[in-house]
Structure 1
Amino acid sequence: MKDSDTSGSRRTDQGVRMADIARRVGVSRAAVSFVLNDRPDARISDETRERILQAASELGYRPNAGARALAARRSGLLGMVTEIVTSSFGPGAVRGAQDRAWGAGMFLMIAASEGRQELEVAAVERLLEQRVEGLIFASGPHEAVTVPPAAAEVPTVLLHCFDPDGALPAVIPDEQGGGYAATRRLLSAGHRRIGLVNVEAHSVAARGRLAGYTRALAEQGIAPDPELITHSPADSIGGWSAAVRLLDLPRPPTALFCCTDRMAMGAYDAIKERGLRIPDDVAVVGFDDQVIISAYLRPPLTTVALPFEEMGARAVEVLLARLAGQDVPDVTVVDCPLVERASV
């Protein structure tokens, strides 16, 4: 007998997704998931629940084994949505998360979003379709983010970013502690006029690193000198131009704390253009520990590590704790350690 559907409203294949039902009813995918998985804590009206169930029946939705695993919260899969896969920091975050997931018997699925909101939404949807038990949402810049609403279907942890409402646990670097460690290293070498080559002032990193710098100075009874504090784009040109301004002061600094290694690379050029030597005439400390830069500058750069690998591992630990029903801290702060080389 020929199989036909003259109404055009019913799909009998197994490719029907929760997103299809959500579009039919005009509700969120999360609402559909709550109803089909019979979540008792879902605040969904009886009328909407009935419309969702009717649409699921009309479209021929049938949960498969993967969906039943999701209902039981046991698929063995975790998801990571990130814009940093191809950045210099990405491999560390992925490696740390992957290793910790493997150690717990879980598999980490990674979706690159390239920082585009539409790709973030699509990535979350696709990972949920693969029945991940939980999500990690990772950002390149340390900043506030808005996570796609569908992520609420499973426990979610933020990595190198935070939710301004505090609704999701976050794993972030100790920006202030890193700025403090860098400045303390220069103070311990006898420097008292320390120039700060900071990133653009609006960023979370800039505020934290400046706070660490001023705290270290205050401990030595040194008041911050506004003419020694600069803000520039976080690249080598920005570092060069900031270092030029500082080194051409009537009383130039004897040391520079550069808030990225790329800025330190530009500062090296400005120092050498003036016939000065590192560290004999001007000491330099960077931030990030981008090994492709810091280890190969001449002299090699003393810097503060931005601990992406450890943050990736800690994010998985927090997510696993959430999956186990344990309480987790709102914010997990990871130390930014000093990496000694030869520029101080």
Structure 2
Amino acid sequence: MTKRATMIDVAQRAGVSQATVSLVMNGVSNPRVSQATRARVMEAAEELGYRKGPRHNVPEHRRPVIGLLIDEVMSTPFAMPFIEGARDEAALQDVIVATFCTRSDPKLENAALDLLFEMNVIGILYTTLTTRQVVAPDRLSDMPTVLMNCYEKQRRHPSVVPGDVAGGHAATDALLRAGHRRIAHLKGEEWIEAAQDREKGYRQALTTWDVPIDEELILTGGWTVDGGRALTTRLLDSADPPTAIFCFNDRMAVGAYDAIKSRGLRVPEDISVVGFDDEDLASYMVPPLSTVLLPHDEMARWAVGTLLDQNDGISAHRSAQRVKIECPLIERGSIHPVPSTERG
């Protein structure tokens, strides 16, 4: 019997992500997907004979269920993009998503799994709000499972995480292209994996441009507005302050704006600033903040598609894959060319 083409096959043929194929095939509007990309995806689908459609033909009261276990929902604003992205993608396949907040408590995880296994559950999205290594419950070994925003050392399940290193590189590269050479980095706490990766991207970009890394321009101070304000004040008090700042997240960038403006300086004419996360507040800052997008919706869509393929027995051989979704730079108004007198 001829193997049925999947979204993974279409993605490989078109040279795009599985999430992009899903957006195109289901007619979902997304400004990141160009008309040329849409045409390429449709052409690949036609060549492979791929046809979208519900994977499960069951009565409404027996619609299949995906369980989404997430450790936190309140500490950052990013739980909802995960939940909504998974829900929307699953709905396109006539599947329901049931969400449980477990606080990483094994007892709560087991209770949630007990309920899900009593339902028409077809798979589990095991999710963390911050990117980190986990050990998924052993009970998931015999259940189609995808790890979302986390991964296992043993690689027992497919996983999807954001490309934080590349995102940090893109943010720093944008400042370098604007002529900046004294670029500070306000980094997150050392225990945060995303902080380590974004700093790595920052360092790689400087190295690529043959710009010496000045350790005095790399400051650690959490991820809050207050932290960003305090660290930027320290930088402005230094003998040779930076002309640009790359912040671990948008909240630190808010603090950086405050400190810069309190000195009578302007963003971006005097100091350029780039954030990370693309929180809603970024586009409302004055000037609007250039930042790096965390692709939570795209990650969730990829996870659901992979889970459904796994449930259909299509991608079992891909169980060890760990996918990183691109974190694109969103350029707004906070980057300005460095004055020619300050160019290195």
1:267: Cα distance to partner?
0.9
1:311 aligns with 2:302: no
Q: In the alignment, what sits opposite 2:46? A: none
From 199, 202, 215, the equivalent of 2:204 is 215
Q: In the alignment, what sits opposite 1:47? A: none
1:152 aligns with 2:103: no
Indicate if the aligned counterparts of 1:198 and 1:229 stay in contact, CA closer than 8 A: yes
Distance in 1 (CA, whole Å) between partners of 2:169 and 2:294 is 14
Q: In the alignment, what sits opposite 1:264? A: 253
Question: Structure 1 pair 237/118, CA: closer, same or farther in 2 (3 Å)?
Answer: farther
1:118: Cα distance to partner?
2.9
Indicate if the aligned counterparts of 1:75 and 1:132 stay in contact, CA closer than 8 A: no
- Structure label with greater radius of gyration: 1
1:204 aligns with 2:193: yes
Distance in 2 (CA, whole Å) between partners of 1:318 and 1:85 is 23
**TM-score, normalised to structure 2's length?**
0.75
Q: In the alignment, what sits opposite 1:336? A: 327
> Which residue identity does 2:125 align to in structure 1?
I
From 60, 64, 83, the equivalent of 1:76 is 64
Indicate if the aligned counterparts of 1:94 and 1:312 stay in contact, CA closer than 8 A: yes
**TM-score, normalised to structure 1's length?**
0.75
From 207, 223, 233, the equivalent of 1:244 is 233
Between the aligned residues of both structures, percent identity stands at: 40
The 5-angstrom pairing of residues 86-105 of structure 1 reads 86=74, 87-105=76-94
Indicate if the aligned counterparts of 1:171 and 1:332 stay in contact, CA closer than 8 A: yes
> Which residue identity does 2:157 align to in structure 1?
L
Q: In the alignment, what sits opposite 2:110? A: 121
Indicate if the aligned counterparts of 1:144 and 1:163 stay in contact, CA closer than 8 A: yes
> Which residue identity does 2:89 align to in structure 1?
R
> Which residue identity does 1:342 align to in structure 2?
G
1:115: Cα distance to partner?
4.3
Q: What is the RMSD of the two structures over their aligned residues, measured on CA atoms?
A: 1.6
Measured against aligned partners, the alpha-carbon deviations of 1:273-301 in whole angstroms (never above 9, x if no partner) come to 1111000001000000001x201211111
Total equivalences in the alignment: 270
Indicate if the aligned counterparts of 1:255 and 1:282 stay in contact, CA closer than 8 A: yes
The 5-angstrom pairing of residues 14-163 of structure 1 reads 76-86=64-74, 87-163=76-152
Runs (5+) with no aligned partner, structure 1: 1-73
Distance in 2 (CA, whole Å) between partners of 1:253 and 1:96 is 39
Indicate if the aligned counterparts of 1:84 and 1:138 stay in contact, CA closer than 8 A: no
Indicate if the aligned counterparts of 2:73 and 2:129 stay in contact, CA closer than 8 A: no
Distance in 2 (CA, whole Å) between partners of 1:263 and 1:215 is 22
Q: In the alignment, what sits opposite 2:311? A: 323
1:75: Cα distance to partner?
6.1
